[in-house]
Structure formats: C-alpha cells, structure tokens
Amino acid sequence: MTGPESEGLQLRRAVCPGSFDPITNGHLDIIARASKLYDVVHVAVMINKSKQGLFTVAERIEMIREVTGEYGNVVVESHHGLLVDFCKERDIPAIVKGLRAVSDFDYELQMAQMNNGLSGVETLFVPTNPTYSFLSSSLVKEVAAWGGDVSHLLPATVHRALVRRLAEKG
C-alpha cells in the first residue's frame, strides 16, 4: 500500500448514493463537487429489486465509471441493502446528497435522520446547480421516450446509450 493510508493518515471518505438509471449532469455535478471536498468519493448504485430499471446495474456502473474517470478519486460500486451498511463496511462517515428544491427536503431529511439514528453517519446536503434543479433520471427518460431532446442534460456517452436503449425497446 502506498499513499496517505500507508502513512497512517485516514482518508476522508464520502458516498454519493442513488439509482443512477441513468446518471445525469445533475448527479455528475454533485459527484464532481464532492470529489473536491473528500479524498475518496464512493458512488453507490443502490439495487432496488422491486424497481425494474431501464439499464442494468452493471451498465449503470460502467457509464458512471466512464464519466467520473477524470476526477481520479471516485470509486463506483453497487450495493444491495441498507446504505448505512455500505458506509460501515467501508468506514465512510458522510453521505453527500444534492438538494434540488424544497420538495426534495422532506424525504431527504427523513432519510438523513434515519441513517444518523441507525449508525451515526452524517448527511451533507449540497444545493444543486440551478441549471439542473428540475432534472431527474425519470423525467429525462420520459422526455426522451417521446422524442424530446435531452442531450444537454446527460453526458454524451450516456445520451447515446439512452437513445440506443429506447430504440431497442421500441
């Protein structure tokens, strides 16, 4: 092992969790900002078996790795189970979440308080860049499915994959 951890220095770690079906420019903005604040940012693609995604978890991970590679300190993984267990297993003390609008706040506050009560993990809220305050993966998929242009809302590779997948589905 080389680097700060080999010298006994603890790396500051945070996690950006989500479904990322697929990752949008809004997600990417939060991950990029978190990557400047922490030594290592774990992106956790949370598996929800009751929700059929447009992309498989493996595809989502591959897309996220591709678009976050340039940051140099982002690790992309999946997790089936509680987010607090993902954090415990990796010694991650902080969850970083984007807040788009007041409408996000109620549920995000509940999750933050639940997670803190379960394990002591902290949640830090980052205000979403106003350019992306309306943006969600669901909305992007809906607009794209009806032929709307969402190319400015996704990384180019993700946009290409979305157009391809929607065409396959017919």
**Total residues in contact with ligand PNS, by rule CB under 6 A:** 9
Which residues carry out catalysis?
Answer: 27, 51, 100, 137
24 touching ligand PNS, by CB under 6 A: no
Contacts of 25 (CB under 8 A, 6+ apart): 131, 132, 135, 152, 153, 154, 155
The DSSP bridge pattern shows strands 74-79 and 40-46 to be parallel
126 touching ligand PNS, by CB under 6 A: no
Cβ pair 86, 79 in contact under 8 A: yes
Using CB under 6 A as the binding rule, the residues of this chain from 128 to 167 that contact ligand PNS are none
Query: Could you tell me which stretch among 11-19, 53-61, 64-72, 124-132 binds ligand PNS (CB under 6 A)?
Result: 11-19
Chain center to CA of 90: 17
Question: Which strand ranges, in their side-by-side order, compose the sheet holding 122-127?
Answer: 74-79, 40-46, 13-18, 94-99, 122-127
94 touching ligand PNS, by CB under 6 A: no
In the complex, the smallest distance separating the C-beta of residue 72 from ligand PNS, rounded to whole angstroms, is 24
In the complex, the smallest distance separating the C-beta of residue 48 from ligand PNS, rounded to whole angstroms, is 7
68 touching ligand PNS, by CB under 6 A: no
Q: Does the N-terminal peptide bond of residue 4 adopt cis geometry, omega within 30 degrees of 0?
A: no
47 touching ligand PNS, by CB under 6 A: no
Q: List contacts with ligand PNS (CB under 6 A).
A: 17-19, 46, 82-83, 111, 114-115
